[in-house]
Structure 1
Amino acid sequence: MSVQPEQATEKSAAGALMRVSSDKIGRLMDLVSELSLSVSETINSPDLQDLDLVDFEAASHRLSMIVREVQDAATELRLVPVSEVFRRLKRMVRELERETGKKIDLELRGEDTAIDKLVADRLYDPLLHVVRNSADHGLEPPDERVAAGKSEKGTIILGAAQVGSEVRIQVIDDGRGLNREKILKIARKRGFFGPDEEPEPSTLWKCIFEPGFSTAEAVTTLSGRGVGMDVLNTTMKDLRGRIAVDSEAGNGTSVSLHIPVSLAFLDSILLRLGNQLFTVPVEDIHEIVKPTGSESVEISADNGTEMLKLRGKFIPVRRLETFYRNCRKEIRPLSDMVSIVFSTARGHIAVPVDEVLDRQQVVMKPLTGALAQVRASWGCALLATGEVAIVLDCERLAVGGDK
């Protein structure tokens, strides 16, 4: 069946693209956030508790579902393909080939993966530092690669994929891998580890993100100042993201960035400890358990850490009371509490709370000024009741102490 000119015009107009400024979309998302809070506040108003309202529950549920769909639609408006960032990096790799004298094959994967425009605007510079490190430090010169049984052309893979409510962006090279001895020597010199301490690889690799940390013996236009990976670390913290590094000597390095798809709304579980409310992203939760007396261990033998024994495995316990002392003064035994087991880059941790309240999509607000120093927190979440919950940063909880 042929399409008539008028029909083709209508079809083309229906799929036409419109240019809308990011400021207008940002304003829309702010209004959607306020709408979500107002609807939840109205539905949960204490003034309605004693009223006999026919079909109110069904109507309020439908209204909540519509608001959720509006939130999702508003979030999608600010999503852009990561290919915009990848294309700029592809041009830069051609320049890196000329500067390093190395042959580099750049593979792009998952270019159509969508990310928040606010993330895309801030992602180029940090990713550029990672790609530069791969080209300068990671990939060997052609003659060295041939001697090692590799092809003379090095490969850098730049990939993106959506995993749950996160976007994972990876920079993978097939170079020489991170130099453990050199990194450990500098880390010991700077006091990160003791002279006889042998840290796990995942712990050691984190040192490269410290300000001023560099293994380059000379300062060049590409590296040696020790500021690039620090920029990446700072940016990821601002974006509520996390970094994972994996490296094998002679077989290359992988740097993975995990970033939330949306920075405005958070699908979360609401928790209570004492008089303080907390919320955590759903994807960070491994499981929720109610320990029995036989599953809890007071103190571990090696470093004095409180542990939770769960199905034969020992999980470090992180008490929110040590981070937020206004919650409650006394420390209750694990068997009297509910333990939330989180998945972190350092492994599983268990966080005891008094109660698991609800699953909600909450409006995220960053902490600014003096509140930005609140420990182990991404920011705050505004709840329908008018209360404010602290959004926990599970990675900083895993570190422990006063981080």
Structure 2
Amino acid sequence: MEKILKSAILLLILSCQLRCIGQKISYIYIKDIPATADYVEDFKKVSDNVNEKYTHLKDKNINGIILQNEYLAKVKNAKTNLEYGSLLIQYFASLNNSHSNAIFKKFYINCSALLLDNHVFISYIGDSVFLKNGIKEKDEILKINNSPVLTYIRNESKFTSASTDLHRTYLTVSGLFSSYFEESRTYTIKTSSGEKDVTIHFGETPLDKTSTTSNQTPGKIESKILNDSVAYISILSMTGNVVEEFIKAFDTLSRKPFLIIDVRRNQGGNSGNSEKIAEYLISEKQKACVSNRWLNPKDNHFTGRLFILTSPYTVSAAESFVLDLLESNNATIIGMPTAGDTGNQPQFYSSTLGYSYWFPSRNKAQVSPKGFPMEGESIKPHLAVSKTIADFFDNKDTILEYVLTLIKNK
């Protein structure tokens, strides 16, 4: 449950390709931008395009010309491709949108981090350097590059594209073991035997998230029966054959009076998939928030009590899924607020320097059929519950246990 994927923005990019067929996407490292390129000319073209087409300039109170001139002054002083790439990432982060970014590969360390009550813990370790130094899962990260970890996260958030402050923070935490640059980074870790400094170099063994070490395609659905009356389905993605996987699990579990749908790790995909799944969970005909088509309950739709688990990582097509169920009045949402961005149909563009970038290009930002803004505002749960540090150390799922207790008491 705690092995949060380290590059949420890449997941959004890859999943969005399902809705952007025919658009060519170039995916390179920042270091591969031509060193002799005219950075000023490139930035003018990119930022002019943003100022002309970006959906959210007005509703986010962004003065595109002022922002363009601010970064143009910095770009004029950029001497290397690394400096220019860094400025591009920061410029797109300034657009305050999860689906806006310059698309570059990153270098990864096979570890994950988790933010709990202003503490950051290692939630997964797969890197040999950490393992050789005796670092274990659940050890606490105190500092990075000798900066207190929360200060480091705040400073690094300027490189993180997100629609809400909450999502920005959580995405930055998920990127603590990744880097756009070939660099060294020192982690100060609190272990059972005292503090340890571990220095990692990014770039020697880059883990390209577009490749896989297995011939097996990972499943999109995890499901199980929790007790005589409660079934559980975790939807990990809205991509690929997720609808078929969901139907298979649903047919087996839908007879239970209580159903828990978990989208806490779901960072989106194709909203067409999420709408098809929603038709198994609604009881009356309703308009879909993304496509605006009519959603019709399936003949075998769920008729019991429905709970939806959410987190700040719930974004894009996963978030529109939650919104459709919220507006059905069929579901009780429990957990943490969502990311605050359903997508608004982002488009991909290509730079002549070899990289691609994307941002929403609709004429007008989408609003749900019942008036909920589909960008910049998190969906707040009916019952707000967060994972506790104590439960993290006891390997307990605070939010799931809360739902089970709620069902038992009622």
TM-score range, shorter chain: under 0.3
Select the structure of larger CA radius of gyration.
1
Higher relative contact order (CA 8 A, sep 6+): 2
- Greater helix fraction, Structure 1 or Structure 2: 1
After TM superposition, the score normalised by the length of structure 2 is: 0.26
